[in-house]
Structure 1
């Protein structure tokens, strides 16, 4: 580990660079069939750049990932006001959320590292002292992150890694020519500020139906026509079918790489990076253009503390919060290529 807090893990297939700041996935390089390496996640050029407003590139976000409407919630009859950092709402745990903290290293091996963090009672307005760990690990063909947390008092918890993927390469431009498939029959529509309306809606016949392969550029145009977008793109929570560890989605780049995301979480937030404007300088020194990467955030539903019919995010003393996500990477197989849609013209 360098003074800058970098940790590098490597096996025959993958090389992963992590940072203590934000328990961050800064690079994920896949070894291609020709022996070359390709980085498929976005990252900042320097550690200082990670501390800019609303960056979150590959960072661990919490204590509550995604949004809490009105930056408040009621738990066991007590109202809690939390830090509002997106208008009147809270996003990703507040201004000084977990992404902004330097995590400790609790343990490390040749293909894994575990970070730890103590979040005090009242941190960003959340009740209870929270002890958190994030364990990253490589395995043949993939990587995973496993989060755990315990609390001293009843609280709400929702943790995720906020990696943006570009399977054509970290500095290759936008992801409009990627294809996405999401294992979700329903999603949660948003108000204009990104807070869910509370409805859980069937995707059938809508622009939100990703159960078959969808070309992201074409899907965005359809979503704009149906007026279901924010900032002209996707930023929505999908209700993933099934339970337990299961496939959430597949992403396919235009140059032959595939990513399969497997998790035990109930939701998947798909955000296509419409805020990038060329000013955020990436790992390679290139400015990130609009839609430079796709965030596939496995997590609980946004605003769950205020939506009693959403899966609960309450954690109580004596319980252990767990959330695990696997990223499986590879070059397209004949089966995947056969399923790949053919564009006309």
Structure 2
């Protein structure tokens, strides 16, 4: 399985429709591996993957009252299901890349058919991913569009929710993300129990000074594995958010390299994870090339998406996909090199 290089800045792999390279000013700012086989290792930490059939955790690995039934999902995070199960979409081989025109721009397209019963989820669905790469105003741009359709006739509804799980390090020669300045658009997060399952409450995160105020990541702290909320609960959420305006979620700046990254999305929430669980040993490629190990806090993941455990009844409109409807979302990454304040 070979990667596809788009322009000079990006590489993608059919496995997981994943982002392998994201180059800014000659630096690859995403964690990854030089060949596809290494992404299949148990310690690969979801590097660059398209996460599905659902993002984040499903409590007790169970969804109830869908098609009038309860479905048991794969348990791969203690009692819970994480990132689609034991072999989520990030480990699946997508069809593609196909070079297409999307919204008037040159894009590449990946697709995946997930059969009924895949990791316990009901219904056959088709996932479609479009990447549109470019540059404007001195910035390197990557747009991602997701679409999921229930195409099978096995049932009338299912649960879905996608995101991308790239880890970013704006100082690629550094072993950790220490020194990275972070600015969040919101300081509100879902309160969770010790397993990362929401309690139902939303509160200000104690480690975030305030929305819009930058703070700096150190070698060991502050530590995040939290779902930050852009849209608080209401009676109804949009299933397809693509017609919503893109909103800035997170800004990163690394003074050592003068590299910047902004993450935007149409989604109601995002997971911020500082990578404490990264534990990739030294590996070798098929031709004997040594790949250096990567340890805790080697990168920070920003995962726009739906709420954690969005399948619960009060949030279910975020993720309940019925026959004849589409689930959709958009993300945008903007990256550039320059001193702080160099690009608005």
TM-score range (shorter-chain normalised) is 0.7 to 0.9
Q: How many aligned residue pairs are there?
A: 313
Correspondent of 2:114 among 111, 119, 122 = 119
User: What displacement does 1:335 show?
Assistant: 2.4
Q: Distance in 2 between matches of 1:176 and 1:198?
A: 32
**Per the alignment, do residues 202 and 144 of structure 1 end up closer, same or farther by CA in structure 2, a change over 3 Å counting?**
same
Give 1:88's aligned residue.
Answer: 79
User: What displacement does 1:46 show?
Assistant: 3.0
User: What displacement does 1:135 show?
Assistant: 0.8
User: What displacement does 1:87 show?
Assistant: 1.2
Q: Distance in 1 between matches of 2:251 and 2:188?
A: 17
Q: Distance in 2 between matches of 1:336 and 1:275?
A: 33
- Is residue 207 from structure 1 mapped to residue 207 from structure 2 by the alignment? yes
User: What displacement does 1:280 show?
Assistant: 5.7
Q: Distance in 1 between matches of 2:261 and 2:134?
A: 14
| Poorly superposed stretches of 4+, deviation over 6 Å | none
User: RMSD in angstroms over aligned alpha carbons?
Assistant: 2.4
Give 1:63's aligned residue.
Answer: 53
* Secondary structure of 1:99 counterpart: helix
- Is residue 302 from structure 1 mapped to residue 308 from structure 2 by the alignment? yes
* Secondary structure of 2:38 counterpart: helix
Give 1:156's aligned residue.
Answer: 159
Give 2:324's aligned residue.
Answer: 318
* Secondary structure of 2:60 counterpart: helix
**Per the alignment, do residues 125 and 319 of structure 1 end up closer, same or farther by CA in structure 2, a change over 3 Å counting?**
same
Deviations 1:231-273 (A, max 9, x none): xx31100002596421111011132111011101111100111
Deviations 1:118-158 (A, max 9, x none): 01111111111101111111021211111111014311111
Which ranges of structure 2 fall in alignment gaps of 5 or more residues?
233-243
* Secondary structure of 2:111 counterpart: strand
Give 1:226's aligned residue.
Answer: none
Correspondent of 1:50 among 39, 62, 67 = 39
Which ranges of structure 1 fall in alignment gaps of 5 or more residues?
224-232, 340-345
CA contact (8 A) 2:74 2:85 kept: yes
- Is residue 28 from structure 1 mapped to residue 30 from structure 2 by the alignment? no
Give 2:235's aligned residue.
Answer: none
TM-score, structure 1 as length reference: 0.84
Give 1:195's aligned residue.
Answer: 197
Q: Distance in 1 between matches of 2:278 and 2:59?
A: 24
Deviations 1:78-104 (A, max 9, x none): 211111111110010011210111100
**Per the alignment, do residues 125 and 280 of structure 1 end up closer, same or farther by CA in structure 2, a change over 3 Å counting?**
farther
Between Structure 1 and Structure 2, the one with more strand by share is 2
Q: Distance in 2 between matches of 1:87 and 1:80?
A: 17
TM-score, structure 2 as length reference: 0.84
User: What displacement does 1:45 show?
Assistant: 3.9
Give 1:182's aligned residue.
Answer: 184
Q: Distance in 1 between matches of 2:268 and 2:342?
A: 25
User: What displacement does 1:29 show?
Assistant: 0.8
User: What displacement does 1:333 show?
Assistant: 4.8
